[in-house]
């Protein structure tokens, strides 16, 4: 689709032609991202932003086939267990110091 001429209202609003809205899947009241780049306005939908983010993740993950959520939960559990162990050691050390002063 080539360039489409649109008018800016007195209040600064753009009215996008129906064919453009249909092509991009923009519904009345929908949300768009707008970026000013090299003296041009670029607009894209939330769906397009999500697809771009997913593609970026796939690019960086390569052939990874695991679950990032499961990996994160497992990592948090390991860190929690480690912190709990360190806390218990600190408590025991503190208790020993107090009892040796008595």
Domain chopping of the chain, boundaries: 1-64, 66-102
pTM: predicted TM-score of the whole model, two decimal places: 0.55
Per the DSSP assignment, residues forming a β-bridge with 35 are 42
Q: Which two tokens stand for residue 35?
A: 């970026």
Residues 70, 58, 76: CA angle, nearest 5 degrees: 25
CATH of 1-64, one of 2.30.30.240, 1.10.287.610, 3.40.50.300, 2.10.260.10: 2.10.260.10
- Band (pLDDT 50/70/90 cuts) for residue 78 is very high
Long-range CB pairs of 10-16 (<8 Å, 24+ gap) are: none
What is the distance between the alpha carbons of residues 30 and 49, in angstroms, rounded to a whole number?
14
Could you tell me the pLDDT band of residue 102, with boundaries at 50, 70 and 90? Answer: low
pLDDT of residue 61: 83
Q: For the residues 49-59, what does the mean pLDDT come to?
A: 90
H runs (alpha helix) in the chain? 18-24, 46-61, 68-101
Q: Rounded to an integer, what distance in angstroms lies between the CA atom of residue 16 and that of residue 27?
A: 11
What is the reported pLDDT for 100?
72
Task: Give, as one character, the DSSP assignment of residue 14.
Answer: B
């Amino acid at each position: 689709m080539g360039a489409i001429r649109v008018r800016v209202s007195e209040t600064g609003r753009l009215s996008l032609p129906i064919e453009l809205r249909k092509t991009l899947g923009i519904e009345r009241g929908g949300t768009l991202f707008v970026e000013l780049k090299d003296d041009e306005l670029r607009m894209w939908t939330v769906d397009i932003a999500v697809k771009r983010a997913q593609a970026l993740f796939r690019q960086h993950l390569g052939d990874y086939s695991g679950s990032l959520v499961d990996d994160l939960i497992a990592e948090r559990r390991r860190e929690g267990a480690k912190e709990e162990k360190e806390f218990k050691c600190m408590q025991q050390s503190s208790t020993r110091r107090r009892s040796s002063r008595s």
